[in-house]
Amino acid sequence: MKPTLLVTTQPGFETYLKEELKTLNIKKIIKYTMFRGLLKVLSENPYETIEVIKKEKDKFKFLMRAVPLEVECPSDLESIRKNTISLLKTKSIDGKSFVVRCNRRGRHKYTSEDVERFIGREILENFDLKVDLKNYDFKINIEIIQDTAYISIFDDNFNEFRHEGNIKKSKYLKRYIERPLNRSERKMKELVERYPNIFDVDIAVDIGSAPGGWAKVLAENAKVVYAIDTGNLRIKKDNIIHIKKRAEDIDNLPQCQLLTNDTNLYPEESALLTVKLSKFLVKNGYIIHTIKSENKYAIKEDISKVKKIFENANIKILKIMNLKANTINEVTLMCQKRA
């Protein structure tokens, strides 16, 4: 399978769009990108995939645009030039009019307009075509995502899909979203919005899960979530397995790719639990860990204590975050198991 479609939604709604895309009636893999509101679909071919999206459009509440991708190449101008020319040679376009459009995401030495002008000039030199910015016969569509460019030739039969209804309704999208279970859920939501890739795992283990805000969000991204807490969960989902025990009493778990801990314990106690359960985490697996201090003045010292405990266990702290839903006595750590 290869990248065949870029799909956009309102930033913050990526996980909802992913759920919708999962139900599409074709073989596919759905990936987050490093850009908010942008997902990538891998499938057999772009022509079939865009047709399926159009046919099943009524099931989408979160999809805005779906852009089919014909050719992938590096995002330097020379590669884009070579690949656009090769793609055009496969089409019957003699004497037709065209326009070049580029959407660029990431940092580059050129602007989207530079790409449009450069590619436009190169095409005029190599083909018997004319430019028409309004009434063109076909459009050369170039999507640039950091180091990769995707080129497609759109005409009346093969084109991008815009869900006009959803685009219009986009400012009311929040209406479709359930209210969060608790403040903790908002912390996890913010993390997923910022770092969608690390949550896209087979197995996540959540320590101190009740009432279930984190587990709920994790279960929208991971295939299975083991939720460990002696307390009751206020949510039920087929892919959440509640282990009604204290984390220190757990001896057996499958290997996970993500470990999360939001227990309301003293910082050192809680850190030791993360260390204990990190034996079930794969090497380079991520850990999300909340430090809950007694007051805001203790946070700095608590971070150093936790850092020491983690260092001894080969857990590296990658980021110390103040999430919007953190209290003033809390910080959230993103860590990685190094050995």
Ligand X SMILES: C[S@@+](CC[C@H](N)C(=O)[O-])C[C@H]1O[C@@H](n2cnc3c(N)ncnc32)[C@H](O)[C@@H]1O
- Give 73 or 204: the residue with its C-beta nearer to ligand X: 204
Contact partners, residue 288, CB within 8 Å, separation at least 6:
188, 191, 258, 259, 260, 261, 332, 333, 334, 335
φ, ψ of residue 62 to 5 degrees: the values are: -110, -15
With CA atoms as reference, report the closest residue to 112 among 135, 144, 88, 150.
Answer: 144
Q: Which of residues 189-208 bind ligand X (CB under 6 A)?
A: 207-208
Query: If binding is defined by CB under 6 A, does position 237 make contact with ligand X?
Result: no
Q: Does 272 bind ligand X (CB under 6 A)?
A: no
C-beta of 20 vs 229, nearer to ligand X:
229
Q: Which one of residues 20, 200, 262, 302 is an interface residue with ligand X (CB under 6 A)?
A: 262
Q: Which of 61, 101, 246, 316 binds ligand X (CB under 6 A)?
A: 246
Q: In what order do the strands lie in the sheet with 281-292?
A: 240-243, 224-228, 203-207, 256-261, 281-292, 330-337, 315-321
Taking a C-beta distance cutoff of 8 angstroms, is the pair 296, 328 a contact? yes
Q: How far apart are CA 155 and CA 138, in angstroms?
A: 5
Structure tokens at 95: 């004497």
User: Could you tell me the smallest distance in angstroms from the CB atom of residue 181 to ligand X?
Assistant: 6
For ligand X, the binding residue among 210, 287, 321, 331 (CB under 6 A) is 210
Only one residue has tokens 């919007």, namely: 324
Pick the binder of ligand X from 3, 68, 212, 285 (CB under 6 A). 212
Rounded-to-integer distance, Cα 110 and Cα 103, Å: 12
Which residue, 61 or 276, is less far from ligand X as judged by CB?
276
Query: Which of 247, 277, 306, 321: binder of ligand X (CB under 6 A)?
Result: 247
Q: Is 103 in the site for ligand X (CB under 6 A)?
A: no
70 belongs to the binding site for ligand X (CB under 6 A): no
Residue type, 95: G
Q: Does 126 bind ligand X (CB under 6 A)?
A: no
Report the residue number, 163 or 289, with the smaller CB distance to ligand X.
289
What is the rounded CA–CA span in Å between residue 138 and residue 132?
9
Q: Rule CB under 6 A: is residue 20 a binding residue for ligand X?
A: no
Q: Which residues bind ligand X (CB under 6 A)?
A: 182, 184-185, 207-214, 228-231, 246-248, 262-265
